[in-house]
């Protein structure tokens, strides 16, 4: 099913991002996480694709498991940095063979592995990737958006020009990077609409899992840390993991509630392959009537 069809119903969606496990220990943990998240009956789940194809096999295996073994709708990320056109078609053909109807096309980051050399025919920008993929694949294509601007973009205005180009080339939806102040998302959406971008814009939300992780990811992704948020975190009892987890769930749930009240098509939670925050957030939103309970969902996940 094309993801864009889900948003035609008027019912906001709930979805989760996952990434393939890289170690046996991580795989064992992911098994438990998948059970928890599947019980929430998400509208879809996305699976990331490692830089330079580093998780190529793992991504495909996870997509196969989610889609064909667990019966979940999925979005397959594809990061094209450094890969040849032949590599691109091989990966996307393999996704098509799994019955996947939805791709999210991103440039991706340069791999950290020493000595990695991009293929000479690789595409330098996500817009080039969309231009290559769209004529060859009828699947539903999405792209990434950055409410606070891509960290490498010369300006928000230029970043918006690139995003509009990707839509003009055939992107049908946008999933955004997260921000900790919804005003960035609302401003971004308003600028998109003013620029003539009319496709659905799905906000990404990143719960706070630890202060260290929050600061590290914000530095990489270009998400600002609002002063009031930092002050509230500093006021928590030092070393109290339970208090931090409760705060993270509450902060993200409040963000999601504000976004849903504003009429967003859904919420996309960046789970970091964890389930506790997602379960708490979804239960809170369903308990408040902001997300409809999926018929047949297990009772212990119905708020």
Exposed/middle/buried for residue 272 (C-beta within 10 Å: 0-12, 13-18, 19+) = middle
- The Cα–Cα gap between 64 and 100 comes to 9
How far is CA 159 from each of CA 103, 151, 156, 167, 287, rounded to the nearest angstrom? 21, 10, 5, 13, 38
Dihedral of alpha carbons 189, 192, 198, 199, sign: negative
Q: Which residues are catalytic?
A: 17
- The Cα–Cα gap between 49 and 123 comes to 16
How far is CA 222 from each of CA 61, 96, 137, 146, 153, rounded to the nearest angstrom? 30, 33, 32, 9, 11
Dihedral of alpha carbons 86, 89, 95, 97, sign: negative
- The Cα–Cα gap between 194 and 177 comes to 20
- Please say whether the beta carbons of 108 and 80 come within 8 A: yes
């Amino acid at each position: 099913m094309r993801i864009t069809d889900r948003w035609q119903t008027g019912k906001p969606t709930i979805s989760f991002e996952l990434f393939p496990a890289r170690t046996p220990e991580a795989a064992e943990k992911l098994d438990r996480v998948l059970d928890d998240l599947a019980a929430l009956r998400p509208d879809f789940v996305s699976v990331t694709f490692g830089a330079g194809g580093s998780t190529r096999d793992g991504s495909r295996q996870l997509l196969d498991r989610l889609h064909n073994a667990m019966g979940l709708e999925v979005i397959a990320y594809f990061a094209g940095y450094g890969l040849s056109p032949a590599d691109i078609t091989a990966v996307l053909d393999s996704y098509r063979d799994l019955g996947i109807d939805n791709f999210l096309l991103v440039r991706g980051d340069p791999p950290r592995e020493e000595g990695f050399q991009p293929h000479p025919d690789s595409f330098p920008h996500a817009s080039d990737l969309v231009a290559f993929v769209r004529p060859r694949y009828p699947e539903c294509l999405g792209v990434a958006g950055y409410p606070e601007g891509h960290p490498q973009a010369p300006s928000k205005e230029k970043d918006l020009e690139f995003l509009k180009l990707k839509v003009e080339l055939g992107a049908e939806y946008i999933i955004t990077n997260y921000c900790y102040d919804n005003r960035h998302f609302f401003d971004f959406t308003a600028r998109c609409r003013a620029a003539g971008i009319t496709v659905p814009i799905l906000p990404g939300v990143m719960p706070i899992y630890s202060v260290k992780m929050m600061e590290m990811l914000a530095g990489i992704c270009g998400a600002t840390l609002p002063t009031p948020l930092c002050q509230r975190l500093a006021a928590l009892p030092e070393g109290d993991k339970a208090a931090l987890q409760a705060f993270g769930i509450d902060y993200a749930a409040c963000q999601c509630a504000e976004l849903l009240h504003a009429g967003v098509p859904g919420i996309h939670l960046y789970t970091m392959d964890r389930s506790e925050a997602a379960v708490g957030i979804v239960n809170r939103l369903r308990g408040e009537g902001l997300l409809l309970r999926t018929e047949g969902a297990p009772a212990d996940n119905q708020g």
